[in-house]
Amino acid sequence: MYEDFGERLRRLRTAEKLTQAELGRRVGRTVTTISKYESGAMKPTLDIAVDLAFQLRVSLDELFGFENKTTVSTFGLTETEKDIISQLISLFRVQNKSKSNLTPEQYEIIGRIMEDFRGDRL
């Protein structure tokens, strides 16, 4: 299904349970301007698009419809959680280069990472 910028903006805004007025207030724009973005009558400037993406908790790519399914957003994660994800990515890169199954040591690392992750949530 094709979704234009305005439809996507509306969908993302409602998913965050924001009114046009609330989103407008957060990015320093009027409800009329947000309505124009959603209707397609106007496109935001880059600086406003950055603010919109931040408020909607998405990347600019997602806001404009250029989702890259190979990227992982770390928006809203703590530094510890970001570090855990980085460790996992590094671990799997090493494993993929060797074209072998994970070693017992790698399983142990994953276990420790998962324990750290769960610990941050408690």
pLDDT, tens only, 32-73: 999 999 999 999 999 999 999 999 988 888 898 886 556 677
Instruction: Give yes or no: residues 49 and 92 share one domain.
Output: no
CATH number assigned to the domain comprising residue 55? 1.10.260.40
Contact 46, 39 (CB under 8 A): no
58 and 107 share one domain: no
Q: Rounded to whole angstroms, how far apart are CA atoms 66 and 30?
A: 26
Q: Is the dihedral of CA 28, 52, 50, 87 positive or negative?
A: positive
Chain position carrying tokens 């408020």: 55
How far apart are alpha carbons 52 and 25 in whole angstroms?
11
Output the pLDDT for position 1: 41
Going from the C-alpha of 82 to that of each of 14, 23, 49, the distances in angstroms are 27, 27, 24
For the entire predicted model, the pTM comes to 0.57
Q: Is the pLDDT of residue 122 over 60?
A: no
**pLDDT at residue 90 is higher than 50:** yes
Domain shared by 18 and 57, yes or no: yes
Claim to verify: residue 45 and residue 95 sit in the same structural domain: no
**Structural domain boundaries enclosing 27:** 5-64
